A and B are shown apart, each in its own frame.
Chain A
Amino acid sequence: MAEKVLMKGNEAIAEAALMAGCRHYFGYPITPQTELTAYMAKRLPKMDGVFLQAESELAAINMVIGVSAAGKRAMTSSSSPGISLKGEGLSYLAGCDLPAFVVNVQRGGPGLGGIQPSQSDYFQATRGTHGDYRTIVLAPDSVQEMVSLTIKGFELADKYRMTAMLLADGTLGQMMEPVSLDADEIVTFEKPWAACGTGMKRPNNIINSLSLIPEELEQWNLTRFKRYDIVEQNEVMYEEYMMEDAEICLVSFGITARVSKNAIAEARAKGIKAGMIRPITLWPFPKKPLLAAAQTVKAFVTVEMNMGQMIEDVELATRCLKPVISCTRCGGVIPSPDDVMAAIDKACEIGGAAK
């Protein structure tokens, strides 16, 4: 195994993208993800890659569309308000069935909000902008996982010809941890659909999201959603943590999952059987393990840095079979283990679990 290095989350994403074969980065600086852009600016020119600080976020996502249409791995990154600006391009990528890797290092909102960490773009990431489409959303909880999920994100994007979004937050982007940069296997795909020159050997490939014939546009959507079904069947990722005997199931992703693990240790020390299901893919959402847990646990606790967004997916997945208690902080505030512990206590009372 290669020697570990000490990296910021933002830098680790950038380095992992290079490992995945990405040589085209387009972005615009915004706190708290700017180190990613700065790192690419330093590294890509030395690798014969393209680093371009675009004139706007909208320009950057359209550059991604162009490079992706030509069959190359491309990415852009931003933080919450900047992702909103890229919104149009995200829908166009879906409409054109183009792969892309997009990073959102979230900050507090709405509006200009703040620069401290949040998870308040959960709805935006999992629901998207205009039109019927899906985005694969990956939620790392460590700098090491930012490396592995970046490599995985490029793979899934190419495999299903859609956008994979890495949804991190300001804390993960800024924190430093030792990471191993051993390359996982880099999986690549033939792209016979790419518009990269016919060589006079085939008809033109046309990449387009416009159709004025309703029946045709409907057919495009139906075909696309058959592909989404396969993603839902095959690509769900989650971590089960101390769930064997759990009576209280925490559901949390990203940085709040780490706080939740500390709270679980505290709860277990008090005799409360707490565990966690940590969604790693926010879409496709781990519905099956949550529904299975709903048969055995007494109550759920969702822990998020927003006003309660993922809780809706948990209630849907568990068909509201058991009470779901929401533990949230927002505006850039990270919940403390005590905040989570208070929600666990409440869940024990409402769900009737042993304390």
Chain B
Amino acid sequence: MEHKRITLFAGHYGSGKTNIAVNYTLALKKQRDMVMLADLDIVNPYYRAKDSAEALEDRGIRVISSFFANSNVDLPALPQDIYAITDDKRWTCVLDVGGDDRGALALGRLVPAIREENDYEMLLVVNRFRPLTRDAQSVMEVVSEIESACRLPFTGIVNNSNLGAETTAEDVLGSLAYAGEVSRLSGLPIRMTTVEERILPALQGKVPDLFPMKLQKRPTE
């Protein structure tokens, strides 16, 4: 797959950024040697990229995450290692940005260097089944809030419309018009449509740029 040196996933709270970032990093690792995932989420105390750190590190992927993530300390701090993203250009980087404008704020300190290098893709993750982003208009509100918080414009869209484990192929097909409308209003191209591997066969050939993903499972489900 084609990619820039830095790929950022941002969007509405709970739109699925972490799950995509983890899956995307794993896919990148098949093409590149030095791949890192940076968990910049300072908003969400539960369910973070760090949950997958061991599995990623086993595959030789570098994971940068707050020392406090998943600990019992509720501290919105980022580690100094995050400067490696922009300072050490040997690495291909995936950034999991926290939700909404509050999450995107943490990106600010990296933005001047990211813009100067200009080898990045800033992807807007959208899910039609999230109650506060059910139509393209409300997505546009989130877009302008995030862009003004982090001062980095989006360059593309990831259609991640899903209902968790209950998602059907019809749900994904039904979300294409929504993603198209977001694309029309924002002027951004749709880079990919995510799909859980379970329903991939039903969608292959029907949806362009499908990106297959695994769902993270937890013992209470």
Contacts and interface: CB of A to CB of B under 8 A. Distances in A.
Contact of A171 (B72, B129, B220): B220
Interface string A18-58: 00000000000001100100110011000000000000000
A258 B220 contact: yes
Given A6-B129, A6-B130, A7-B131, A114 B72 contact: yes
A42 B14 contact: no
Interface residues of A, number: 36
Contact of A174 (B46, B127, B130, B221): B46
B13 interface: yes
Interface in A110-142: 113-116
B14 A8 contact: yes
Nearest to B47: A174
B219 interface: yes
Contacts of B162: 6
A353 to B, nearest CB: 25
B134 interface: yes
A332 interface: yes
A12 to B, nearest CB: 9
B164 A32 contact: no
Given A6-B162, A171-B220, A178-B163, A31 B131 contact: no
Nearest to A257: B220
A176 interface: yes
A11 B127 CA distance: 16
Interface in A210-269: 255, 258-259, 262
Contact of A115 (B13, B72, B220): B72
Interface in A331-347: 332, 334, 336-337
Contacts of A171: 46, 220
Interface in B139-188: 162-164, 166
B220 A15 contact: no
A3 B163 CA distance: 10
Given A6-B162, A259-B219, A170 B134 contact: no
Given A108-B72, A178-B163, A178-B164, A5 B220 contact: no
Given A35-B13, A255-B220, A5 B45 contact: no
A319 interface: no
How would you classify the secondary structure of chain B's contact residues: helix, strand, loop or mixed?
Answer: loop
A187 interface: no
B219 A334 contact: yes
Contacts of B72: 108, 113-116, 332
B131 A15 contact: yes
A196 interface: no
B57 interface: no
How would you classify the secondary structure of chain A's contact residues: helix, strand, loop or mixed?
Answer: mixed
Interface residues of B, number: 22
B54 interface: no
Contacts of B221: 175, 258
B132 interface: yes
A177 interface: yes
B46 A32 contact: yes
Given A31-B45, A115-B45, A174-B46, A6 B163 contact: yes
A4 interface: yes
Interface string B1-32: 00000000000011000000000000000000
A38 B43 CA distance: 11
A176 B132 contact: no
A6 B127 contact: yes
Contact of A176 (B14, B74, B219): B14
Given A5-B134, A8-B14, A175 B220 contact: yes
Contacts of A332: 72
Interface in B102-145: 127, 129-132, 134
- In the A-B complex, list the 4 residue pairs whose CB atoms are closest, starting with the nearest: A114-B72, A174-B46, A178-B163, A6-B129
26 contacts: A3-B129, A4-B129, A5-B129, A5-B130, A5-B131, A6-B130, A7-B131, A11-B131, A31-B45, A32-B45, A32-B46, A38-B13, A39-B132, A43-B132, A108-B72, A116-B72, A170-B46, A171-B46, A174-B45, A174-B46, A174-B47, A175-B47, A178-B163, A258-B221, A332-B72, A336-B219
Given A4-B163, A38-B13, 18 more contacts: A5-B130, A5-B134, A6-B130, A6-B164, A11-B131, A32-B45, A39-B132, A108-B72, A113-B72, A116-B46, A174-B45, A174-B46, A175-B47, A177-B164, A181-B131, A258-B221, A262-B219, A332-B72
